Chains A and B, each alone.
Chain A
Amino acid sequence: MRKLKEFIIEKLILICGLASIFFVVLIFLFLLKEGLAVFKTVSPFKFLFSRSWYPISEPPQLGILPLILGSLLITAGAAIISIPIGIGCAIYIAEIAPLKVKEVLKAGIELLAAIPSVVLGFIGMVTLVPLVRTMFHLPTGLTALSGSIMLAFMAMPTIVSIAEDALYSVPKTYKEGAFALGATHWQMIWRVMLPAASGGMLAAIMLGIGRVIGETMAVMMITGNAAVIPNSILIPVRTLTATIAAEMGEAVTGSEHYFALFAIGIVLFIISFAINVTADILLHKRQ
């Protein structure tokens, strides 16, 4: 009897262990099931590279190039802001800050990570958007720049915590060796720690960028949502994620528009898959 009970429990544990694989596959299959239907009317090439997104015109024009470029522009902006600040902060916390300060800083970073994206979006709307508008004399502050700045803040906790882990995992003997040769603290960090932790740093950056690309609510609230090909960082743009969130409510189930939104979901899924697998390989190589 006990043997049987144990057998059942162990099988149950195995099934739960496999649950993550099951869910990832399930998500992908359902996205494919709904999303691939759009390619009956639009070729994949046209879907990805044609320049106009007018899903409710007749016939609908379903080209997601403006959305891809919108996502890329905002992500690039956020990366430029968050990478130096995030890596710098990680080095400061891991190497320079005294123990007490370190605890406070880590709590601050955790706090930032915990703030819901809709709250950050709201704060961006009431503080950053008017600021950008008056600073650059624009008709509206809902721009790619505002989005980039806000998203940089959402990427930073990820970058800081993973980069910090990477710095901690550099063997102590490396540091001691550098100091013994007469290096200053900074020379040791610059010449020894950073190269040794570069794999983990790269993973940190990639995961931070992954977070930015997938972010939805804050982006939808502060980037202005204009589905046009961006020619400047000071105009409204629209991202892949915001398009799904903003339009799914109105799309008629089973319409081309509906399928197209799922196809955007496939694109996002593939991007996040590629980023996470690469980051995981980088982190594994280190160990």
Chain B
Amino acid sequence: MIKNPYRTQNIAFFFLFLATLLIVIPVGLIVVLIIQKGLPAINWQFLFSLPRQGMRAGGIFPAIIGTIYLVAGAIIFALPIGLLAAVYLSEYAKDNLLTRIIKLAIVNLSGVPSVVYGLFGLVLFVVFFKFGASIISGSLTLGIMILPVIITTSREALESVPYSFREVSLSLGASKWQTIRHIVLPNAIPGILTGTILGLGRVAGETAPILFTVAAFYLPQLPKSIFDQVMALPYHLYVISTQVPNVDEKMRYGTALVLLALVLFMNLVTVIIRYKFRKKKKW
């Protein structure tokens, strides 16, 4: 029998299609399941009241607030450093050993396991700087963790600004920093925003780095200063699904839904920014 190359092709393509379905269908099922079972739990009281009876009743308000504080704190720390690092790599860095080492460091920083960030935050911020388990320790730990995301995406955004823009500005007598400040940065804002929000989404969902640096098991009150512990959504989900017996299943799904919605909302915003920007792009 002669081998028919087209039949081989059909079989191969069928398997490739199957592989794709094996990823996409479970993703769809997971999202549908969480929405379906979580939605009945969502109401005003669940979102905006304090947990009661050892988290078996009441709401998740402190966890939502805690996560918002952590996200805000991480970004206040990571955005300026990450952005300037991206400016350095795209505008100043020469093709030399130092640049190579910086890039390698970024790659490594993004590969360090999240629980190792937790250890690092524990020794440096909680113990060494004596911040204790607090919002500031958690935010700084998370901030370092998302630096690589912000640097990489911002750098891509800066580098995609055409070189001719810079040449025109420089030829008109502007200095290098003026060119960056008034020409390159404004044109790269959508890309930088995208990277930042992606970083935020990652911060909102991370659990391991905040385990020993900030997260409170059960703390039915709102934080008063950045040196207080807080509850956080991902840790709260972990706690009520593994550590506390007899929690109504509805509350677990509800918490998972709120967390998922928060993260997906941020991702949606980046998609919209990218889409709008593509339409407005001048070059």
Of B22, B117, B119, B207, which is within 8 A of A118 by CB?
A: B207
Chain B 117-140 interface mask (CB, 8 Å, partner A; 1/0): 111101110011000000000000
* Contact residues, B127-160 vs A (CB, 8 A): 127-128, 144, 147-148, 151
Given A26-B124, A108-B28, A184-B6, does the pair A245, B109 have CB atoms closer than 8 Å?
no
Is the CB–CB distance between A109 and B23 below 8 Å? yes
Is the CB–CB distance between B85 and A273 below 8 Å? no
Stretch at the interface among A48-56, A62-70, A171-179, A261-269: A261-269
Is the C-beta of A125 less than 8 angstroms from some C-beta in chain B?
A: yes
* Contact residues, A1-48 vs B (CB, 8 A): 2, 6, 9-10, 12-14, 16-21, 23-24, 26-27, 30-31, 33-34
User: When chains A and B are docked, how far (Å) is the Cα of A127 from the Cα of B242?
Assistant: 15
Is the CB–CB distance between A216 and B208 below 8 Å? yes
Chain B residues with Cβ below 8 Å from A33 are 123
Is the CB–CB distance between A112 and B23 below 8 Å? yes
User: When chains A and B are docked, how far (Å) is the Cα of A273 from the Cα of B111?
Assistant: 7
Chain A 102-146 interface mask (CB, 8 Å, partner B; 1/0): 000101111110111111111101110000000000000000000
Is the C-beta of A93 less than 8 angstroms from some C-beta in chain B?
A: yes
Is the C-beta of B34 less than 8 angstroms from some C-beta in chain A?
A: yes
Is the CB–CB distance between B31 and A217 below 8 Å? no
Is the C-beta of A79 less than 8 angstroms from some C-beta in chain B?
A: no
* Contact residues, A79-119 vs B (CB, 8 A): 84-89, 91-93, 96-97, 105, 107-112, 114-119
> How many A residues have CB within 8 A of the partner chain?
87
User: When chains A and B are docked, how far (Å) is the Cα of A253 from the Cα of B119?
Assistant: 12
Of B23, B111, B205, B271, which is within 8 A of A156 by CB?
A: B23
Is the CB–CB distance between B237 and A118 below 8 Å? yes
Given A85-B23, A110-B267, A249-B212, does the pair A92, B112 have CB atoms closer than 8 Å?
no
Of A87, A110, A244, A269, which is within 8 A of B118 by CB?
A: A244
Task: State how many angstroms separate the Cβ of B188 from the closest Cβ of chain A.
Answer: 15
Stretch at the interface among B53-61, B88-96, B221-229: B88-96
Chain B 239-283 interface mask (CB, 8 Å, partner A; 1/0): 001100000010010001001100110010001000000000000
Is the CB–CB distance between B238 and A24 below 8 Å? no
Is the CB–CB distance between A9 and B177 below 8 Å? yes
> How many B residues have CB within 8 A of the partner chain?
89
Is the CB–CB distance between A217 and B81 below 8 Å? no
Is the C-beta of A148 less than 8 angstroms from some C-beta in chain B?
A: no
For residue B80, which residue of chain A has the nearest CB? A16
For residue A30, which residue of chain B has the nearest CB? B123
Chain B residues with Cβ below 8 Å from A91 are 16
Is the C-beta of B13 less than 8 angstroms from some C-beta in chain A?
A: yes
Q: Does more than half of chain A's interface fall in helix, strand or loop, or is it mixed?
A: helix
Is the CB–CB distance between A89 and B23 below 8 Å? yes
Is the CB–CB distance between B85 and A215 below 8 Å? no
Is the CB–CB distance between A214 and B113 below 8 Å? yes
Is the CB–CB distance between B119 and A190 below 8 Å? no
Is the CB–CB distance between A111 and B5 below 8 Å? no
Task: State how many angstroms separate the Cβ of A141 from the closest Cβ of chain B.
Answer: 14
Is the C-beta of A286 less than 8 angstroms from some C-beta in chain B?
A: no
Is the CB–CB distance between B256 and A122 below 8 Å? yes
Which 9 A/B pairs are nearest by Cβ-Cβ distance?
Answer: A116-B205, A214-B113, A88-B19, A17-B88, A16-B84, A186-B9, A276-B111, A20-B105, A216-B208
Q: Footprint of A on B, CB under 8 Å?
A: 5-6, 8-9, 12-13, 15-20, 22-24, 26-28, 30-31, 33-34, 80-85, 87-89, 91-93, 101-120, 122-124, 127-128, 144, 147-148, 151, 175-177, 201, 204-208, 211-212, 234-235, 237-238, 241-242, 249, 252, 256, 259-260, 263-264, 267, 271
Q: Footprint of B on A, CB under 8 Å?
A: 2, 6, 9-10, 12-14, 16-21, 23-24, 26-27, 30-31, 33-34, 84-89, 91-93, 96-97, 105, 107-112, 114-123, 125-127, 153, 156, 160, 184-187, 189-190, 207, 210, 213-217, 221, 241, 244-245, 248-249, 253, 261-262, 265, 268-269, 272-273, 275-277, 279-280
18 more A-B contacts (CB under 8 A) besides A91-B16, A108-B27? A10-B92, A19-B81, A24-B109, A26-B120, A30-B120, A34-B119, A89-B16, A89-B20, A108-B28, A118-B238, A122-B238, A123-B34, A125-B242, A126-B252, A245-B118, A248-B122, A261-B119, A273-B111
